[in-house]
Homo-oligomer: A and B are copies of this chain.
Amino acid sequence: MAGNSFGTLFRCTSWGESHGPAIGVVVDGVPPRLPLSEADIQPWLDRRRPGQSRFTTQRREADLVRILSGTFEGRTTGTPIQLLIENTDQREKDYRNIADRFRPGHADYTYWRKYGIRDYRGGGRASARETAARVAAGAIARKILGPDIVIRGALVAVGPHAIDRAAWDWRQVEDNPFWCPDAAAAKLWAAYLDEVRKAGSSTGAVVEIIASGVPPGLGEPVYDKLDGDLARALMTINAVKGVEIGAGFAAARLCGEENADEMRIRDGQVRFLSNNAGGILGGISTGQDIVVRFAVKPTSSIPTPLRTVDALGNEVEISTHGRHDPCVGIRAVPVGEAMIACVLADHLLRHRALGG
């Protein structure tokens, strides 16, 4: 119970269901005197907003954020900041048919088993709509981190099609509907996703987030290690099934001398010669880029009929038509960035308490 908060000093508490009147998040622990208005938050929400291309859900939400507390004359005051986003495009009747049926791959069955009641409209609390709250909180986290810490995400694989890492170009990321850093891959994905959609199916994806400019020293061993907190933060995003840091699972196939990031002195500074660690050693940031990847499963709501059961114990079939992302991994990119920002902001404050 009481599982809707995360962070220790920078602490977010979110609330709201997909088809209730609104969703939102209380962001507590924000240092005072930071300039903050809706204009600082809205652009990040706009990046996540659905309906921006044919590859994401056609639900139309303006996702306009309002600050209800915690600022005064355009600056934070140190008191909790309530961010509220109204739900405007609810189509309750779309969901009558799933009131008693458990969609495979969704949380329908488990919410019903856990709570004995569930708001079935659009997935209720389990809807990816909740991630708007994360993105809004992430915008505040970025204000705490300041301009020197840059957090950027990209989609690095869609279904079986991975990018060519040699072709990585950050400028591409904003130029295609996939946050794809490889122009050739983006073209391939467009064709692939059209095909997937026509087939009444969906596909998974892999997201990579890189945080640059993070100072060494963030992370609190041994259970609040930075990588532990990042893994949790990302794994709680809807549809995420795996998280890795640096070389990640590939590290398991390496030998010791390949994996070790050797160090030299360059211009009087310690420099690592590689970054298999993904910027974290012993749960503490090294000062290198923090590199994390996470796997997003294919959208569970698909037109293809699936076998399932209902709450009365009947065997039924279900197929989902209407507004759904063929690849939820796409919109997971800004969400992942936001979660990284929140975790880093929390650890920055925690580290500051050390006087360091």
Contact = CB atoms under 8 A, between A and B. Distances in A.
A90 B78 CA distance: 21
B256 A202 contact: yes
A56 interface: no
Contact of A9 (B2, B102, B107): B2
Interface string A243-260: 111111111111111111
A123 to B, nearest CB: 8
Given A228-B236, A264-B315, A286-B110, A5 B14 contact: no
A28 interface: yes
A249 B206 CA distance: 8
Given A33-B117, A242-B248, A79 B235 contact: no
B159 A252 contact: yes
Interface residues of A, number: 155
Given A79-B17, A80-B4, A203 B107 contact: no
Contact of A3 (B157, B225, B264, B297): B225
A258 B204 CA distance: 11
Nearest to A104: B260
A49 interface: no
Contacts of A265: 309, 313-315
A308 B349 CA distance: 30
B252 A295 contact: yes
Contact of A117 (B32, B119, B349): B32
A248 B248 CA distance: 13
Question: How many copies altogether?
Answer: 4
A138 interface: no
Given A68-B21, A282-B126, A304-B256, A354 B1 contact: yes
A297 B232 contact: no
A117 B71 CA distance: 10
B28 A114 contact: no
A116 interface: yes
Interface in A299-317: 299-300, 302, 304, 306-309, 313-315
B222 A228 contact: no
A119 B1 contact: no
Interface in A1-26: 1-17, 20-24, 26
Interface in A105-157: 105-107, 109-111, 113-119, 124-126, 130, 157
12 contacts: A1-B354, A17-B69, A23-B69, A24-B82, A72-B119, A76-B117, A114-B351, A116-B356, A204-B255, A232-B232, A256-B302, A265-B314
